[in-house]
Structure 1
Amino acid sequence: MSVSYWRRERSPVRQPSCDVVIVGGGITGLTSAYELCQRGMRVAILERHTLGSGASSRNAGYLMRGMAESYALVCNHLGRDTAKLVWRFTEENLTLLIERYSIDSLDSFHRKPSILVAMSDSEAEELADSERLLCEDGFETHLVRSGSDSLWRSLQPTLALVNPHDAALNPWQLVQRLRDGLISRFGDLATIHENSEVVGFHPDPSGIVVRTERSEYPCNRVLVCTNAWAQELLPDLGARIKPNRGQMMALRAPGVRLDASYYLNRGSEYLRQAADGSIILGGKRTHREGEEQTASDATTPEIQSELERYAKMVLQCDFKVIARWAGTMGFSPDGLPIIARADAQPAEVWFCGGLTGHGMSLGAKTAQAAVQTMLGEIESPFPADRFREKEPPAGLEPAT
């Protein structure tokens, strides 16, 4: 989206100054605000629509360890140290959400393992290698060759790898819990401004001024948490983030039972059973990859038809589609987040994003690290200059 010249107030309202303006009111934006307020800083969140209206409330609700692709594959693509870092990050992400926000008290929260399923000998070999590497690196996991739920009965997988301590929930409930946690504890330090699209920033004698259609927000620092839409505000750094659409559906399928959150075809397809018994199914993006490289969140007949065919194969029963939707992910070149100061911007404009479909599993912990990096407490675990040093490997598939 954009704001026309005609709608930009000639004399915008000057808002009270704050320490940090956060652009984007999703999981990373809300968690970043909490981190800053913990340090006694005043924060304004500017969200161009409503909180969580992007991918934060449009995903399938997986809180998994690691990525949808196997540990062995990520070790091969990115190196074992990086793979270990990401897997630890995702474990700590879930711990952070439970300990700080008590998300395990939400009625949609389920402690349910996630399972990577192999349907071929080559995938099975990859999962066996992953199990060995994970155990060597201190992660709890195991392999299974059989199961009793609907997926195992219909597909008869070759092998599967279990992440035993993962979880799933309604992502919109998560966004609401993050908002409520912020306001209940730090309502005197944090303000949230919905329907406030940022059109730019410029230096000011007092620091930086962030401009929206109607107002100006003077601050000392800016943290951009817009993920797939990064390039709209950060033309240089944001150019590394490419929007990609993920499509999903919810089904009523009486008699179906799924005991885990499943990933198939190296994460290309995924399905789970929600707390209300409905089946959440998504994927098939790789079947029309060029068309799905878009910021649009509209569903398409082609992908939705593919998902219905897949549901018939996996569930092998009559079902009713009760909802169809899509969300826009922000892909980085190597599939990992980016935490970095933005080039060609005022000195204290920072970016946190590029979560590549792993925002539920990485978003809160990445936001915490972004605040620590911005304030000089740590070095960025995901710097942007890694792309300048060498040609990045092919990106990894999303887990949504």
Structure 2
Amino acid sequence: MKTSVYWTEDCPRPANLPISPLPEVTDVAIIGGGYTGLNAALALRKAGASVAVLEKETIGWGASSRNGGMALTGLKESMPVVFKRYGAEMGRAFWQWSLDAVDYVEQLTVEEKIDCNFVRSGHLLLAFKPQHFAQFVEEARWFREQLGYTDLWVVSKAELHSEIGSAAYHGGLIDPRSAGLHPARYVFGLAQAAARKGALLVERTALMDVKRTRTGFLVITNRGTLNAREVLVATNGYTTNVIRPLRQGVFPVGSYIITTEPLPLSLQEELSPRGRMFFDSKHFLNYFRLTPDGRMLFGGRHNLSTSLDLINSARKMQARMLEVFPQLAGVSISHTWSGNLGIALDLMPHAGRVNGVHYAYAYAGHGVSIASLLGKEMGEVLAGKRTSTLFAQIKHPRYAFVPYDRLYLPLVSTWFRVLDWIT
């Protein structure tokens, strides 16, 4: 078993990816070389602005190459809650935006000829307990009545075998508009597209400070300084305390994944007859799917820590996988790894400006599509092509205690375990 990311082993960072030294001046400095930053860079270059993408590690190193490869409809927060919190008009706008985000990823991969195995396979939300399925029935009805969305339907426990080769769940909720892709192929394709259009990609460059100047900002890094008219922070679950108000709005949560060795085609078809993206209804949810080369990828959270031992994590994840798919007993685990989600306390994506610096983050596990479209929109804001984004129009809660997540997340983890037990 390798403690490395399967996706980047299958598709390593391109050796010919143009990497630049830190420039002295640029129109926009983007902090973070993942989906958000690269999509923003593409939008800015299309508008004619000069752009430098500064990445602390290497391009695509973070969650953009570590996730499950699921481009899902919706947001982390449920749509009924979004309606209650922001009103029906805003709620409908958020829902449509989430659909547009998946469409955008598909269109972009076609336009830029990014071969990332994008497939509209749909997702299946699985009921961990019988009462969860009853909630699915009500949710499908709510979507029809409030959103006119008829592409959502329930599958009973008796019918579930047509969707998944598991008896561990009590029914499901299907949305065929979600998609699967190869996240490393996608992020490296984005990087190559941005570089082709003239964006500068700067690796091993950590942000140390940002200071206002007469003409914009002085961006101070471990590799030197850069003068920029505007700055966009696009670091999601890897956001640091450099700009403290930003860190007070988002906290990291660790997500852990294992993959099996490639499975026989007959077993693949038994486990996942339609190639869906799967996730369940627990608070400590599991998500899983077949990879393009026929491995079972199985992920989730044991607690909310970002620093669990990978081997111990893999053993626990494998045990849970076998509860779902006993057919995988005896199948070897090939890889185990982890990555950070960025989550806000209101479970909503956030974008806007603080201390003069623009930002976009807090995708809560839905980053493949949300980070992509929100990155594009923030690039258009910085280029003067749009005045705002939908997610800049809501309040972004910030609290002084948020950066101290190591202290409070263990308590939250315990509470979630209790909820999974009693609900």
Deviation at residue 230 of structure 1 after TM alignment: 2.4
Q: Deviations over 1:186-232 (max 9, x none)?
A: 12xx1111111121122233321112123221111000111123233
CA distance 1:105–1:178, change in 2 (3 Å): closer
Match among 185, 188, 196 for residue 176 of structure 1: 188
Name the SS of the counterpart of 2:94 in structure 1: helix
Q: Cα RMSD between the aligned structures? A: 2.8
Match among 245, 248, 257 for residue 239 of structure 1: 248
Query: Contact 1:112 / 1:261 at 8 angstroms: preserved in 2?
Result: yes
In 2, Cα distance between the equivalents of 1:248 and 1:70? 24
In 2, Cα distance between the equivalents of 1:205 and 1:18? 15
Q: Deviations over 1:279-314 (max 9, x none)?
A: 11011x2x433xx1x3x4x64455333211111111
Could you tell which deviates more after superposition, 272-281 or 198-207? 198-207
Residue in structure 2 matched with residue 360 of structure 1 by the alignment: 368
Residue 271 of structure 1 pairs with residue 282 of structure 2: no
Residue 315 of structure 1 pairs with residue 332 of structure 2: no
1:279 maps to a residue whose letter is M
Deviation at residue 171 of structure 1 after TM alignment: 0.4
Q: Percent identity?
A: 23
2:319 maps to a residue whose letter is R
Deviation at residue 110 of structure 1 after TM alignment: 2.4
Could you tell which deviates more after superposition, 241-250 or 222-231? 222-231
Residue in structure 2 matched with residue 209 of structure 1 by the alignment: 218
Query: Contact 2:249 / 2:397 at 8 angstroms: preserved in 1?
Result: no
Q: Deviations over 1:319-349 (max 9, x none)?
A: 2111100001111111111112123xxx3x1
Residue in structure 2 matched with residue 338 of structure 1 by the alignment: 350
Residue in structure 2 matched with residue 9 of structure 1 by the alignment: none
Query: Contact 1:48 / 1:197 at 8 angstroms: preserved in 2?
Result: yes
Give 1 or 2: higher helix fraction: 2
1:18 maps to a residue whose letter is T
CA distance 1:159–1:147, change in 2 (3 Å): closer
In 2, Cα distance between the equivalents of 1:69 and 1:388? 15
Residue in structure 1 matched with residue 3 of structure 2 by the alignment: none
Residue in structure 2 matched with residue 143 of structure 1 by the alignment: 154
Deviation at residue 161 of structure 1 after TM alignment: 1.2
User: Which structure 2 residues correspond to residues 360-399 of structure 1 after superposition, within 5 A?
Assistant: 360-374=368-382, 377-383=386-392, 386-387=395-396
Query: Contact 1:63 / 1:361 at 8 angstroms: preserved in 2?
Result: yes
In 2, Cα distance between the equivalents of 1:104 and 1:112? 20
Q: Deviations over 1:102-152 (max 9, x none)?
A: 288625332211011113232112211211122230322222221335834
Name the SS of the counterpart of 2:133 in structure 1: helix
Deviation at residue 236 of structure 1 after TM alignment: 1.5
CA distance 1:110–1:379, change in 2 (3 Å): closer
User: Which structure 2 residues correspond to residues 25-44 of structure 1 after superposition, within 5 A?
Assistant: 25-44=33-52
Structure 1 length normalisation: TM-score?
A: 0.83
Query: Contact 2:289 / 2:298 at 8 angstroms: preserved in 1?
Result: yes
Name the SS of the counterpart of 1:199 in structure 2: strand
Query: Contact 1:248 / 1:280 at 8 angstroms: preserved in 2?
Result: yes
Name the SS of the counterpart of 1:362 in structure 2: helix
In 1, Cα distance between the equivalents of 2:43 and 2:286? 34
Any unmatched runs of 5+ in structure 2? Answer: 1-20, 400-411, 417-423
Structure 2 length normalisation: TM-score?
A: 0.79
Name the SS of the counterpart of 1:248 in structure 2: strand
Deviation at residue 66 of structure 1 after TM alignment: 1.2
CA distance 1:150–1:135, change in 2 (3 Å): closer
1:165 maps to a residue whose letter is R
Name the SS of the counterpart of 1:25 in structure 2: coil
Match among 199, 205, 208 for residue 208 of structure 2: 199
Residue 281 of structure 1 pairs with residue 291 of structure 2: no
Residue 329 of structure 1 pairs with residue 341 of structure 2: yes
In 2, Cα distance between the equivalents of 1:178 and 1:247? 24
Name the SS of the counterpart of 2:92 in structure 1: helix
Residue in structure 2 matched with residue 8 of structure 1 by the alignment: none
Query: Contact 2:22 / 2:202 at 8 angstroms: preserved in 1?
Result: no
In 2, Cα distance between the equivalents of 1:114 and 1:14? 41
Q: Deviations over 1:237-282 (max 9, x none)?
A: 2211101100010013442431211111247111111111101101
Query: Contact 1:20 / 1:221 at 8 angstroms: preserved in 2?
Result: yes
Could you tell which deviates more after superposition, 136-145 or 235-244? 136-145
Residue 303 of structure 1 pairs with residue 313 of structure 2: yes
Query: Contact 2:206 / 2:221 at 8 angstroms: preserved in 1?
Result: yes
Residue 59 of structure 1 pairs with residue 67 of structure 2: yes
Deviation at residue 77 of structure 1 after TM alignment: 6.8
User: Which structure 2 residues correspond to residues 226-265 of structure 1 after superposition, within 5 A?
Assistant: 226-252=235-261, 253-254=263-264, 255-256=267-268, 257-258=271-272, 259=274, 260-265=276-281
Any unmatched runs of 5+ in structure 1? Answer: 1-12
